[in-house]
Amino acid sequence: MTPIHVLNGPNLNRLGMREPAIYGTATLADVEAMCRAAAGDHELVFRQTNAEHQLVDWVHEAIDAGAGIVINPAGLSFRSIPLLDALKMCTAPILELHISNIHRREEIYQVSLVSKVARGVIAGLGPEGYGTAVATMRGWLSAP
């Protein structure tokens, strides 16, 4: 069964203590548990890094594994050409996820480069959006 890789960018390791009015009180461990609960029989890889190069390397690993990618690029959504270039190599579905509704936040957060290569984007559902994202990815991967 096709694996699902959930990749998280900078500062998401601070979930639970980071601007809870925006990102909620769930921790990254809570979010991982939501993803694993939603993954069913799919192998789920869940990772977070504050380093752009590491996120790029993990995208390469997901591609080589033939995995569907759920990605919250966090602050790397908006300016990272290396991340965009890596994601362009992915032939499996990509679902971009943001905890907050980036479209009603500061202007610097409103235009994501990753959205140019994502099949779908979830923004503003809070941490629970991760479970929705993994469930959506399962549906995409099981579609004929």
109 torsion bin: left (phi>0), alpha (psi -120 to 50), beta (else): alpha
Q: Which residue's CB is nearer to ligand DHK, number 92 or number 130?
A: 130
Answer for which of 31, 52, 90, 98 binds ligand DHK (CB under 6 A) is 98
Judged by DSSP in three states, 107 sits in helix
Q: Which residue's CB is nearer to ligand DHK, number 28 or number 65?
A: 28
Answer for which of 26, 35, 71, 99 binds ligand DHK (CB under 6 A) is 99
Distance CA 22, CA 73 (A): 16
Distance CA 45, CA 5 (A): 5
Q: Is 109 in the site for ligand DHK (CB under 6 A)?
A: yes
Distance CA 144, CA 139 (A): 10
Q: Is 74 in the site for ligand DHK (CB under 6 A)?
A: yes
Least distance (Å) from ligand DHK to the CB of residue 74?
A: 3
Binding site for ligand DHK (CB under 6 A): 11, 72, 74-75, 98-100, 102, 109
